[in-house]
Amino acid sequence: MTAADPSSPALRIVLADDSVLLREGLIRLFDEAGFETVGSFGEAESMLAKIEQLRPDLAVLDVRMPPSYRDEGVQAAITLRRRLPEVGILLLSQYVEGTYAHELLAAGNGGMGYLLKDRVASLDELTDAVTRIAAGGTVLDPQVVRELLGRRADPIASLTPREREVLELMAEGRTNAGIATRLVIGVGAVEKNVTSIFQKLGLEDSGSDHRRVLAVLTWLQR
């Protein structure tokens, strides 16, 4: 079994997951591995409110938590990366969600991980992942990697010529109104093209502007 180095300070971990049973199970696993759980929360906002005070080495977050059960964990991870970039981030999910993995990776370099919850049943795998992420590495579940590789199969190819024009202007930083003026079309037509672009690129609605950023990243990485 992989264990924490007893000669070094214990890694400090915070947890955010709406499942009490999973949180308690993770705390026991982390304790057995020689890590210290310094905070346990049922939703992301409470964790973010305490994060500066707790100063963990790593945050473990469920992807979907209250109140909407959509992408609260991902948005909290992005906020955390902006506020405390030195803190490692491990997202846990019940399912393979390639869009969220892409969004997490787009938020920064290193110190990140995305695992399926089934992996927490193995103390060795979990301990190894936590240690690597805290050291600045990136850990992705093999199924998530396969999903990301599938998404990289030229996603731009499915766009129409007009959608490509719209996406290129989005990459220039233009608003929908600015795109409409440039292409001499209505704002409504631009909005329809933008919605279609998001759908074809597999970018789910997260209630924020992150889909627009990810769409532009996809265009720039083609």
Instruction: Work out whether strand 138-140 and strand 88-93 pair parallel, antiparallel, or are unpaired.
Output: unpaired
| Together in a domain, 142 and 197 | no
| Together in a domain, 123 and 198 | no
| Together in a domain, 87 and 33 | yes
Strand partners, 40: 15
Is the pLDDT reported for residue 219 higher than 50?
Answer: yes
Helix (H/G/I), strand (E/B), else coil: 92: strand
| Together in a domain, 83 and 30 | yes
User: 27 with 37: CB under 8 angstroms?
Assistant: yes
| Together in a domain, 77 and 131 | yes
Domain of residue 98 covers: 12-150
Per mean pLDDT, which of 35-39, 133-137, 159-163 is the most reliable?
35-39
Place of tokens 């719209």: 166
CATH number (domain holding residue 170): 1.10.10.10
Residues 6+ apart with CB under 8 A from 167: 156, 159, 197, 215, 216, 219
DSSP secondary structure code for residue 71 in this structure = S
Number of domains into which the chain is organized: 2
Is the pLDDT reported for residue 4 higher than 60?
Answer: no
| Together in a domain, 33 and 116 | yes
| Together in a domain, 120 and 39 | yes
**Residue 211 to residues 51, 80, 206: CA-CA distances in angstroms?**
26, 19, 7
Residues 6+ apart with CB under 8 A from 166: 179, 183, 190, 193, 194, 197
Residue 209, pLDDT score: 53
Instruction: Tell me the pLDDT tens digit for each residue of 97-145.
Output: 666 677 677 766 678 888 888 767 678 888 988 999 999 888 888 777 6
